[in-house]
Structure 1
Amino acid sequence: MKSAVETLSPTRAKLTVEVPFEELKPSLDAAYKKIAQQINIPGFRRGKVPPMVIDRQVGRGAVLDEAINEVLPAKYVEALEANDLQPLAQPEIEVTKFEDNETLEFTAEVDIRPQIELPSYEGIEAQVDDLEVADADVEEQVQALRERFATLSDVERPAADGDFVVLDLKALKDGEVLDGAEVAGMSYQVGRGGMIEGLDEALVGMSAGDEKTFSSELVGGDLVGEAVEVQVSISQVQEQELPELDDDFAQEASEFDTYDELTADVRERLGRGKRLEQAAAARDAVLEVLLDRVEVPLPETMVTDELNARRANIEQQLGNAGIPMEKYLEDEGQTVEEFEADLDRRVREAVAAQFLLDEVAKKEELGVDQQELSSHLVRRAQQSGQDPQEFANHMFEHNHIPEMVQEILRGKALAAIVETAVVKDASGNVVELKNLRPDGTIGEPEAETPEADADADTEADAEK
């Protein structure tokens, strides 16, 4: 077999393959055997029909077509390996020349992994924002805890913002109550939002026993966006009584004896979370610096597929939340054109990062063991809210394990890059990444021994 490559672009190639007729012989024999099993010829047992009889009854052309269909995939893969090409998608194959007892010739156009000249990635310098826990952040967390221990008491007055009411609600279209648009005896805090538009405004000023009708639009279901009439009545108005912020509250709401100890713990926990956010920002910043140093050609087909997938995912999430795309764009302060441009930019950066990290993983000769794969599958299952075993079975059955392995390798490659990077915050302080634990605390540096260094690298990769 002979093959030649024509580079159509940095991410697309055209293979021209010539296969001598002698190399088709095994596939021809297999084609005769297959057809012999499929036809009934008087005087011959099934599967024992001679080739000459098959040629007369079925036609030599049908046998040749069967042989070509079998040999093409194998010869295509052989040509890829011979020319050191890594395909990214299914090829477009065309048989350009073939006659009986003559050479088979076909072409295959396919998107390929681009060749990337890796720049030096040791000691990359990057910057992130300062780690700061504002007093308002602490107050917000304490207030949320305070509300968990609040009590409700009935009041004989109209409902005000912040009060709780027990309500009945139904949405009507042309005088008919819509399916799934009716609730009864529901406790709701006035001003909380998240339900039907106009509800909070209607509830303010209503007393127990009052009923009101207002116009709105549905935010979920098959009739999302439909104009409806909403009837709401309330049976109770309740005032929320919050506990005093003192030592008694600290003892009731936590394991601490004093309010100062409670707030100090809240601040510490927020700080650990901010530290993890800062570490994630640091990894993004380091990767962004590296991407700026290299040109990564992108296959437009791959970019388009990823764009379509992400756009569909966003639309599905908005649909599940009952938020029209127009409302989402309004809240984000974006036009359709700005949204599409931002999505295109993020997709291109993500695809380029994949190619880049794949090259780093290859250069560093990184691998994935069974424990790492199992942990990754469990983590992905938890993120999607699925049973880990069912998730793993699905991944194996649908041949997604290579994708999972590639994800792990990319994570390890990024960890290797970040490990040598120097990341500082806006104030010039070095951001600790090497000894950062999964809970946001800073661990003790490992002893400076080869064995300890190896263990530290493995632990840091897993944490990041």
Structure 2
Amino acid sequence: MQVSVETTSGLGRRMKVQIPAEQVDRQVDSKLRQLSRTVRMDGFRPGKVPLSVVRKRYGSQVRQETAAELITQTYEQALQQENLRPAGEPDIEQTRNEAGAGLEYVATFEVFPDIEIPALDDLAIERPLCEIGEQDIDAMVEKLRRQRMTWQEVDRPAAEGDRVVIDFEGHIDGEPFSGNKASQVPLELGSGAMIPGFEQQLIGVGKGDEKTIEVTFPEDYGSAEVAGKTAQFAIRVDSVAEPVLPELDDDFARSFGVGDGGLAALREEVRRNMSRELEAAVKSRLKKQVFEAMLERAQIEVPAAFIESEVEGLIKKSGASADADIDRSRFEQEARDRVVLGLLVSEIIKQNQLTVDPDRVRRTIEDMAQSYENPQEVVQWYYSNQDMLAGVQTLVMEEIVVEWVTAQAQVEDKPQSFEELMKSVSA
């Protein structure tokens, strides 16, 4: 077997493989002889068909089958011989397959790029430094109170924080527009649920009031029909209600599943949950900084096949159907970033022989399970579902890589409140 390789582009390769005629013809003859023992043809007894007749009838078909088998066998051998790692499936073309002339084919493909881990010792990383204080727990308990908030109708003008139930109908230059009217709409004043200026003009209205207000839709509003335009809304107020928060007592604690210990036990449970959120938020901030820095410093030529495969995955994740007319270009940058990160992370793992500790995987799953009613069932479910378990193993390995990068970098602890940290992570 003779193999020659030509570079067609940065990662593109054109590999020509030539298999001697003796090897091909010998394999073809062997197959034809086997076929002659079993083939049935009119005018001949089974097993008595002359080889020349079988060759004339089936020779071309057997040669093509033999070529396909030899290509499958020799392609991997040729790659190993030339020390090539293809990125994706090859495009294979037979260029010669004749008796006495041997078999020749050309495989065109991209190869894996050489991965060089960028220098990271001068990388500056800010690590959030945060402690959960009593005031943070107070704020979280207050949020829980608002989750149990009820509304009580009042006979007074509406104030900010009240809820009004309204019917409305809007027009622009006297003409209706899509979604211009609705009935029995509950609206908490000051929530920002409506476009700017809408809620503010309802402060002071009472039950049964009718009022016309004027507001301008933002220029970047989701509907081009109304974006940047001024509308008049005729509004009728059906009711005004004020919020009623539950008392902070043992009954309130029990409503969140806390049995013994009352409010003090609830606060302790809140602290534990916030601690888990804090740990996850710090990891998220570090991971974001590390991965962004790796992307910025990476100098990697990415195989087009990898990007195309990742684009397909992103389109599927977006919920679009496979045959939908999708602008694929809007997914390409994210796809490229994901591929580059994947290649860098894999190289860091390989060069530093990083491994996943099964105990750490279990601790991670147990932490994730704590937010469920029956944590042990959740843990068992993860370990009975190999796809979900593999996902956690990947998550843990990424954390290990981030820790490795952080150890090389210049890390500065930055004091931050719990609320600030949570907002920055969710932004």
Q: Specify the alignment match of 1:242 in structure 2.
A: 245
Note if contact 1:128-1:278 (Cα within 8 Å) is conserved in structure 2: no
CA deviations on 1:280-319 (whole Å, 9 max, x unpaired) are 33244345555666532212342344345436644759xx
Q: Normalising by structure 1, what TM-score?
A: 0.56
Aligned length: 373
Which structure: larger Rg?
2
User: Offset of 1:354 from its aligned partner?
Assistant: 1.6
Change in Cα spacing, 1:162 to 1:99, as seen in structure 2 (3 Å) is same
Residue identity in the other structure for 1:5: V
Q: Distance in 1 between matches of 2:206 and 2:262?
A: 41
CA deviations on 1:114-153 (whole Å, 9 max, x unpaired) are 12345677x6754125335799976763432121333332
CA deviations on 1:256-296 (whole Å, 9 max, x unpaired) are 7779x977985775465234322233244345555666532
Change in Cα spacing, 1:78 to 1:233, as seen in structure 2 (3 Å) is farther
Q: Specify the alignment match of 2:95 in structure 1.
A: 96
Matches for 1:29-48 after TM superposition, within 5 Å = 32=32, 41-43=41-43
Q: Does 1:298 align with 2:302?
A: yes
Q: Does 1:19 align with 2:22?
A: no
Residue identity in the other structure for 1:358: S
Note if contact 1:133-1:270 (Cα within 8 Å) is conserved in structure 2: no
Matches for 1:331-410 after TM superposition, within 5 Å = 340=330, 345-365=333-353, 407=394
CA deviations on 1:222-274 (whole Å, 9 max, x unpaired) are xx9999xx99999765432124xxxx616444467779x97798577546523
- Does 307-316 or 89-98 show the bigger shift? 307-316
Change in Cα spacing, 1:149 to 1:299, as seen in structure 2 (3 Å) is same
Change in Cα spacing, 1:389 to 1:252, as seen in structure 2 (3 Å) is closer
Change in Cα spacing, 1:113 to 1:211, as seen in structure 2 (3 Å) is farther
Note if contact 1:90-1:110 (Cα within 8 Å) is conserved in structure 2: yes
Q: Distance in 1 between matches of 2:30 and 2:198?
A: 72
Matches for 1:65-464 after TM superposition, within 5 Å = 65-118=64-117, 126-132=124-130, 141-156=140-155, 162-164=161-163, 238-243=241-246, 249=248, 251-254=250-253, 269-270=273-274, 272-289=276-293, 295-307=299-311, 309-310=313-314, 313-314=317-318, 316=320, 340=330, 345-365=333-353, 407=394, 411=398, 414=401, 417-418=404-405, 420-422=407-409, 424-425=411-412, 427=414
Note if contact 1:27-1:71 (Cα within 8 Å) is conserved in structure 2: no
Note if contact 1:361-1:409 (Cα within 8 Å) is conserved in structure 2: no
Q: Distance in 2 between matches of 1:28 and 1:370?
A: 53
Q: Distance in 2 between matches of 1:362 and 1:85?
A: 18
Q: Distance in 2 between matches of 1:268 and 1:391?
A: 27
Change in Cα spacing, 1:371 to 1:73, as seen in structure 2 (3 Å) is farther
Change in Cα spacing, 1:265 to 1:199, as seen in structure 2 (3 Å) is same
Give the percent of matched residue pairs that are identical in Structure 1 and Structure 2.
Answer: 25
DSSP-derived class of the 1:141 partner: helix
Q: Name which structure has the greater RCO, CA cutoff 8 Å, separation 6+.
A: 2
Q: Distance in 2 between matches of 1:200 and 1:125?
A: 47
Q: Distance in 1 between matches of 2:360 and 2:29?
A: 45
Note if contact 1:27-1:68 (Cα within 8 Å) is conserved in structure 2: no
Residue identity in the other structure for 1:361: I
- Does 232-241 or 11-20 show the bigger shift? 232-241
What is the root-mean-square deviation in Å for CA atoms of aligned residues?
6.1
User: Offset of 1:98 from its aligned partner?
Assistant: 2.5
Change in Cα spacing, 1:90 to 1:199, as seen in structure 2 (3 Å) is farther
* Uncovered stretches (5+) of structure 2, i.e. residues with no partner: 169-181, 214-222, 227-232, 372-377, 417-427
Change in Cα spacing, 1:118 to 1:209, as seen in structure 2 (3 Å) is closer
Q: Distance in 1 between matches of 2:403 and 2:38?
A: 57
User: Offset of 1:108 from its aligned partner?
Assistant: 0.9
Q: Distance in 1 between matches of 2:356 and 2:350?
A: 12
Change in Cα spacing, 1:113 to 1:372, as seen in structure 2 (3 Å) is farther
Change in Cα spacing, 1:186 to 1:284, as seen in structure 2 (3 Å) is closer
DSSP-derived class of the 2:248 partner: helix
Note if contact 1:208-1:237 (Cα within 8 Å) is conserved in structure 2: yes
* Uncovered stretches (5+) of structure 1, i.e. residues with no partner: 170-182, 215-223, 318-324, 326-335, 430-464
Residue identity in the other structure for 1:153: Q
CA deviations on 1:143-164 (whole Å, 9 max, x unpaired) are 3212133333233567776445
CA deviations on 1:342-381 (whole Å, 9 max, x unpaired) are x6554433322222222233334456799999999999xx
Q: Distance in 2 between matches of 1:237 and 1:30?
A: 92
Q: Distance in 1 between matches of 2:8 and 2:354?
A: 31
Q: Normalising by structure 2, what TM-score?
A: 0.60
Note if contact 1:142-1:263 (Cα within 8 Å) is conserved in structure 2: yes
Note if contact 2:356-2:397 (Cα within 8 Å) is conserved in structure 1: no
Note if contact 2:187-2:193 (Cα within 8 Å) is conserved in structure 1: no
User: Offset of 1:91 from its aligned partner?
Assistant: 0.7
